[in-house]
Amino acid sequence: MQMTIGRCGPVCFSCSAPPSKSYTHRALIIAALADGQSDIIGQLDADDTRMTARALMQLGVRLDWCRENIHVQGTGGHLKAPAEEINIQDSGTSMRLLTGVSLLADGPVVLTGSARMQERPLGPLIDTLNNAGAKITSLKNPGCPPVRIDGAFPAGDLYVDGSISSQFISSLLIAAPYADNDVHIHLTGDPVSLPYILMTIDSMRAFGAEVFVEGDEKEPVFTVSSQKRYKPQTYGIEGDFSSSSYWFALAAICGGSATISGLNPLSAQGDRRLLEILVNMGCTITEKQESIILSRDPGVLLKGIEVNMADCPDIVQTVCMVAAVSSSPSRITGVHHLRMKESDRIWAIANGLTTLGGRVETEEDAIVIYPAPLHGGIIHPENDHRTAMSFAVLGCFIGDVTILDAGCVTKSYPGFWEELRRIWQNAVLC
């Protein structure tokens, strides 16, 4: 499947934010560990979240996925070890969050995935758990899936390197209420994506867990009580700032306005920081009770920006597309961990923009984008949904941009192309 994007002028549109992928993953797993039936309302139905649901069912969880909600019969923290391996395919969130949780099963669990998944790092999480008494073995590449997980979830002090992925910490946090005693999670290294950890804690507390946060941002300590385990809940999924970023960026790049409903302005999601970044680049934000409006007068030039995005990696590509049409250079730092996502996203940004005539420089932890005349071209996202969606938005400004393997967006946003087609067809001068 491929999509060719035509150029459109100023836009003026409204749409609803898709449900949060991150919150759907977390709610599914936490509800599976609660003691009783939970109802998850308004979930994201995408490849990744379905992967987590299928994995939980293999671990003995009864789950009924309906159109508007999911009924989850929790296990009280007692999972069943499946006879066959669990294939996570391309869902890194599923792999990492379920690694810690699999220690709650009554026997060994093998987690595997796609060829790319078998290259993605899991070592810091494996090392943390093994140093505390677990028995986790990489079956192919050292420190990567597939992994065989055995033993019990440890209590006490756990030390984990947080410089590669916040999901290592979230994996420990989610399983921690079922340790024999309280768990104290210490972060080492320079932690990235801290807002995702706060989202995990937010989800845990909603289901009755008790989590304390001590220390500072560089050396936080998370204490999880073993006396407060998850209770079944009716839990609504809020809108996703990550997926909504493409619509805000579309209005920023093409000019006009985007009105997005279903977003929580006070959300723990780190990607809501996009709004602040786009304001600094020349856009205007208006918050109403039910929606957030981003606008840019087509006569106002976008400005480049210097910004550290270590805490919001999923919107780096989106911001880079806006930077590519700005009137001055942009320098985006804190991005080293993007090399270990679904693809090497630093390479993907540089290669894609260069293909379209852009001028980009990359460093170990930075991307620098300079103003340059852009033209059409072909983008191969290498099975990375965020690459496909971000370059599609830029294509609406350039025109004649073809996205190969366009179906990869079903990983997080199955309705993306339909929504983009609707917006493009109805683009009007505001």
* CA terminus-to-terminus distance, the chain: 33
The H or E element that residue 53 is part of is helix 47-58
Q: Which amino acid is at 133?
A: G
Active site includes 271?
no
Among the listed residues 328, 329, 334, the one whose alpha carbon sits nearest the alpha carbon of residue 316: 334
Q: Which amino acid is at 97?
A: L
Asked if 155 and 226 count as a contact pair (C-beta separation under 8 A), the reply is yes
Q: Is 261 helix (H, G, I), strand (E, B) or coil?
A: strand
Question: Cβ atoms within 10 A of the Cβ of 220, count?
Answer: 17
Is the Cα torsion angle 423, 424, 428, 430 positive or negative in sign? positive
C-alpha span between 412 and 225 (Å, rounded): 32
Q: Which amino acid is at 150?
A: D
Question: Cβ atoms within 10 A of the Cβ of 371, count?
Answer: 18
| Of 240, 311, 314, 384, catalytic | 314
- HSE-CB of 281 using CA atoms within 13 angstroms: 35
Q: Is 416 helix (H, G, I), strand (E, B) or coil?
A: helix
Residue with tokens 């768990």: 183
Beta bridge mates, 64? 71
So which residues are the catalytic ones?
314
